[in-house]
Structure 1
């Protein structure tokens, strides 16, 4: 292939996969930025570097890559998780990208472009290694988890099927102010175990050597999604195009590989928990 033909092929490939600012709503094109709700307390998905206060994490890298693909910039808005849905529906922010699980209940107010697999995972500290060896050992134990997530309901359902149904005492679900609070209570001995997303537990184990271990395998299978107002279909569709482009270029998988989460990456586009048609 001549250099000229190679250049033409490269341009054609770029044109086929890139998304421009033309696909964005007029308000975002005018502002030159997308305002994204994010709570940076969920490593390795989103967190602040303690040395520099810089936002880091898989969600941050992916959010910036998507915005770049769309030809715009990101303004991160640090909003409490419980306020995120209302912030999108009232127009305070443009979308949510913050480790949010795509659930049927949340679909009452939001549309989701899913971008990774996840699941609820039990874990505990090494000083419980003799008493808690399997999930069944958690029956009757106190387990901490963020009350603002889907984990309390999911854990209660797991307990009903795996503890009460077998004549064992129920798991004592302890709602916390977030995953960091759950870890603090676990370290202080106020709870016996905790629940976090399956994508975060390996990070914790690697970060604090010989401090934690996972108990069993993830007991749910869910998707995490970027949340949009149901009326903001133009922005949602622009993100679908941008995500397709990142998947086609290999940048999407490279971001997941950076955090050792290759198994959490999706092979195609999912909307509201189902493959896009």
Structure 2
């Protein structure tokens, strides 16, 4: 009887150990901390959110610095992987990347696939046209026209929603060039990115023709599931701390000349 009881107790302990290991392995944050790094998908071609410094070729930008600061708060290294926008989102959902930092805005449609953290920045979508174009003054005016945007972006979806034919391109510069040379009628993009493009290039050929009054919220998308509950909570704590410390505002002013981190 004692021998049987001993075997039973041993079995319980072994089962408990296995269950504990399973629980740990099913926690994304635990795996990330064990690896000592978090893989972050980003385009690297969408200034001033994520791009390469023209002098050093270093990956820089608002989202790059925010993501690096979040990783530092988690006590791990930020490992950036440059990929097309739609590839980044797909990679997050399939587990190729731990998270994405690329001005990913929260939408009802994306909530079906991703669990989002709290927002860390706010913006507005705008329509950019030739400065000489007087026929477009609203999003509704895009019906039957052609726009240029990144595949899988909210701006692509907005173009389709308003009846435009969307030409997919990889970079912000390409979208603006296509508008300038008349290949497309307009582009829908973030107001912050449009203004940065105007300021850095000095172009007077383009203008903001319409502004969406609805606020765009930028947040970190994570794959859906309880596996990411602790990671999402940890990132939310990091965002809160960075906001309270003034770090988010500091990074925003550095890249935008204004604080877009407060709603």
SS of equivalent residue, structure 1 residue 253: helix
1:78, 1:187 → 2: CA distance?
Answer: 27
Q: Return the match for 1:49 from 41, 49, 53.
A: 53
- Which structure is higher in helix share? 2
Do the aligned partners of residues 67 and 139 (structure 1) sit closer, same or farther apart at CA in structure 2, a change above 3 Å counting?
Answer: same
Could you say which residue in structure 2 is the equivalent of 1:172?
164
What stretches of structure 1 of length at least 5 have no aligned partner?
1-22, 160-170, 268-277
2:229, 2:141 → 1: CA distance?
Answer: 46
Based on CA coordinates, which of the two structures has the bigger radius of gyration? Answer: 2
- Establish whether residue 145 from structure 1 lines up as the match of residue 149 from structure 2: yes
What is the Cα deviation at residue 191 of structure 1?
A: 1.4
Count residues with an aligned counterpart.
Answer: 231
Q: Return the match for 2:234 from 234, 238, 245.
A: 238
Do the aligned partners of residues 25 and 138 (structure 1) sit closer, same or farther apart at CA in structure 2, a change above 3 Å counting?
Answer: closer
- Establish whether residue 187 from structure 1 lines up as the match of residue 180 from structure 2: yes
- Which structure is higher in strand share? 1
Could you say which residue in structure 2 is the equivalent of 1:59?
63
1:69, 1:24 → 2: CA distance?
Answer: 16
The runs of 4+ residues in structure 1 deviating greater than 4 Å are 136-141
In the TM superposition, 1:23-172 aligns within 5 A as: 25-113=29-117, 114-126=119-131, 128=132, 131-132=134-135, 134-135=137-138, 141-157=145-161, 159=162, 172=164
SS of equivalent residue, structure 1 residue 186: helix
Do the aligned partners of residues 139 and 26 (structure 1) sit closer, same or farther apart at CA in structure 2, a change above 3 Å counting?
Answer: closer
1:39/1:98 contact within 8 Å kept? yes
What is the Cα deviation at residue 233 of structure 1?
A: 1.2
Q: CA RMSD in A?
A: 2.4
Q: Return the match for 2:253 from 250, 253, 257.
A: 257
2:186, 2:93 → 1: CA distance?
Answer: 35
What is the Cα deviation at residue 46 of structure 1?
A: 0.5
Do the aligned partners of residues 133 and 103 (structure 1) sit closer, same or farther apart at CA in structure 2, a change above 3 Å counting?
Answer: closer
